[in-house]
Amino acid sequence: MQETRDRFGKRRAATLMLAAALLLVASSAFAQQTNVTRFDAFVGYAYLNSPKVSLAENGVQFQIGVRPKTWVSLGFDYSFSTGDLTLTPGLLTPALQTDLTGLLELLAKEGLLPPGYALSVTAFSRTQTFAAGPQFAYRHFKNVTLFVRPSCGIIKEVAAPLPSDPIQVIVVGAFEQMGLLSSAGKKNDSTPFYGVGGGIDLLFSKHFGVRIQGDEVYDHLFSDLLAQGRWTTRFSVGPILNFGKNIVKTK
């Protein structure tokens, strides 16, 4: 219940920040930007959320880009975050669901399964994302830059189950014997992701501002364990540094 309130609180905070940004857009003069530097760099807080597996992670995001033109950047994006996820039998592949059902039935026959028991296993998760590509900017406002981008790259995740009762210990042990977890009791995987992202830069000077951004991407991590892929949302906010020569062409 507390986790749910925390997630809603973060979403409300993101909504308020975006609303404030839109108000700044509305209050900005319609003068276009006359100083656009060649390079930019960003580092800030990142929040990663995958509702399908109840994943909620906090971490950091880093970006660096070069602007061949005022309206496009080419750059690299990296994020690192940690948190917890929850796995339930319905998320598993059909074959694993069958094996798990058989194991639980055997435990029930031996009197080891409490009546009404609902299996769910929490795991500690560590996620990294790596992406590179273009970002397209709209610079009609003097103190505000809007941008969108394709969001494609590689996502890497390490998950370590945290069994909290004897049934979960037995199930996790069975998965280790099946080779679905490493000898250290962890699950590692990397896979491509794709989606779209965008956001807003609030510019306080020609070199400094604040970036608020988000991405919505699809991936299918742990495909040997999970039947379906998942949508993941990443939100981040932090300072943006613009540097290098001005690339705006003057008449």
Which pTM does this prediction carry? 0.84
Mean pLDDT score of the chain, rounded to an integer?
89
Cα–Cα dist 142/32, whole Å? 5
Instruction: Find where tokens 């995001």 sit.
Output: 61
Pairing status of strand 187-203 against strand 144-161: antiparallel
For the chain, how far is it from start to end, CA to CA, in angstroms? Answer: 60
pLDDT at residue number 26: 46
Q: What DSSP string runs through 107-130?
A: HHHTT-S-TT----EEEEEEEEEE
Cα–Cα dist 220/241, whole Å? 34
Residue 172 host element (H or E): helix 166-177
Domains of the chain, first to last = 2-243 (2.40.160.20)
Proportion of the chain above pLDDT 90, given as a percent: 78
Per-residue DSSP letter, 35: -
**pLDDT, tens only, 80-100:** 999 999 999 999 999 999 999
Cα–Cα dist 170/163, whole Å? 9
Under the banding of pLDDT at 50, 70 and 90, the label for residue 9 is low
Token representation of residue 167 = 């049934």
Least confident of 15-29, 39-53, 79-93, 201-215: 15-29
Cα–Cα dist 43/11, whole Å? 20
- Asked whether residue 7 carries a pLDDT value surpassing 80, the answer given is no
Q: What is the mean pLDDT of residues 16-20?
A: 52
Cα–Cα dist 101/147, whole Å? 48
Token representation of residue 216 = 């919505």
- Asked whether residue 43 carries a pLDDT value surpassing 80, the answer given is yes
Cα–Cα dist 232/47, whole Å? 10
Name the packing angle between helices 94-109 and 166-177 (round to 10°).
130
